[in-house]
Amino acid sequence: MIEFPDAPAVARRAVLKGAVAGGLAGLGLGAFPFPAFADADAKEWPGDAFKVKSEADALKALYGKSAEASDKVSLDAPEIAENGAVVPIAVASTLPNVTGIAILVLENPNVLAAAYKIPAGTQASVANRLKMAKTTKVVAVVESGGKLYSATKEVKVTVGGCGG
Amino acid sequence: MAGTIRVRATASGDATEVQSLIRHPMDSGFVKDAKGELIPAHHIEVVQFEHGGKTVFTALWGPAVSKDPYLKFSFKGGKAGDELKVSWVDNKGASDSLVTKIQ
């Protein structure tokens, strides 16, 4: 004769299993044991490029070249930014073999705001939010096939993003 | 810093769209506190996204990226149930990471 454990014990075990699974999920673990992913590495950070004051210097530090304007780089930026601390900026491109995107805010103390590495198989498109100290030109640069292409827009900033 | 990353990765066709929000002060180093002293720069430097053992996106950020930074990008491949790992490291050496499942 098959014996069944009594109902309360089964219920207790189910609750405990759920709690452990919930706890693990709460830690953000997708599977256990999880594969060895590498972590973000600070050595990748191009510190020098983030300290320069001019567009030309930033591109030279990042890519070792300069950019030419292209209508295949699309830069989505608001005409007027109500809050300079959080300005939504999106960049996309139809150019082939895009390996990098950089965004420069020319009136900021340091012009390079962000740079992105685009491996093969990843779309040439990124959306982020940047701080802008005051009304400024924003330059989006796309590295494609070893060359740099850019698009520029002016963003009017009503309340500066430096907390002043 | 734990529990700072919120990410949603959605597969549609052969592309996966990733949106992430990371809780971080992203202090630029240019702002003064109530006492008039500069709050030192404290910002994320590198954010990395990995899928299938391969890096699919790397963000290199300076202090001009907004507080609690948002990011959206898309990569080919990835299907519902796959794992995506997000990790970041900041200029003070603090870091956090999260493994999520693509929906």
Domains of chain B: 5-101 (2.60.40.10)
- Cα(A154)–Cα(B98) distance, rounded to whole angstroms? 36
**Which residues is B32 bridged to in the sheet?**
B38
- Token duo for residue B87: 């990790």
Put simply, whether the predicted model's pTM sits higher than 0.90 gets the answer: no
pLDDT of residue A18 exceeding 90: no
The SS3 call for residue A160 is coil
Return the pLDDT at A29: 45
Note whether A31 contacts B: Cβ–Cβ < 8 A: yes
Return the pLDDT at A162: 74
Best mutation target among B18, B45, B70 (most A Cβ atoms within 10 Å) is: B45
Q: What is the pLDDT of residues A76-111, one digit of tens each?
A: 999 999 899 999 999 999 999 999 999 999 999 999
Q: Give the confidence band of A160 by pLDDT, cuts at 50, 70, 90.
A: confident
- Token duo for residue A112: 């390079």
**A101: nearest CA in chain B?**
B59
Q: What angle do CA A85, A126, B79 make, to 5 degrees?
A: 130
Q: What is the pLDDT of residues A35-79, one digit of tens each?
A: 456 788 999 999 999 999 999 999 999 999 999 999 999 999 999
Domains of chain A: 46-157 (2.60.40.2470)
Helix segments in chain A, DSSP class H: 7-26, 55-63
The SS3 call for residue A86 is coil
Chains A, B: CB contacts under 8 A, how many? 149
Note whether A87 contacts B: Cβ–Cβ < 8 A: yes
Alpha carbon of B1: minimum distance to chain A alpha carbons (Å) = 13
Q: How far is CA B64 from CA A103, A132, A157, B45, in A?
A: 10, 7, 14, 11
The SS3 call for residue A164 is coil
Asked if A162's CB is within 8 angstroms of B30's CB, the reply is: yes
Return the pLDDT at A71: 97
| DSSP per position, chain B | --S-EEEEEEEETTEEEEEEEE----B-S--B-TTSPBPPPB-EEEEEEEETTEEEEEEEE-TTBPSS-EEEEEEE---TT-EEEEEEEETTS-EEEEEEE--
Which residue is associated with the tokens 């989505």? A76
Q: Is A20 left (phi over 0), alpha (psi -120 to 50) or beta?
A: alpha
Residue B38 phi/psi, 5-degree rounding, is -70, 130
Note whether A125 contacts B: Cβ–Cβ < 8 A: yes
The 10 Å Cβ neighbour count of residue A61 is: 16
Q: What is the per-residue burial (b if ≥16 Cβ within 10 Å, else e) of B26-55? A: bbbebbeeeeeeeeebbbbbbbbbbbeeeb
Task: Give B70's contacts (C-beta < 8 A, 6+ positions apart).
Answer: A127, A128, A129, B19, B20, B21
pLDDT of residue B26 exceeding 70: yes
Q: Give the confidence band of B1 by pLDDT, cuts at 50, 70, 90.
A: confident
- Cα(A82)–Cα(B1) distance, rounded to whole angstroms? 31
Task: State whether ipTM is beyond 0.90.
Answer: yes
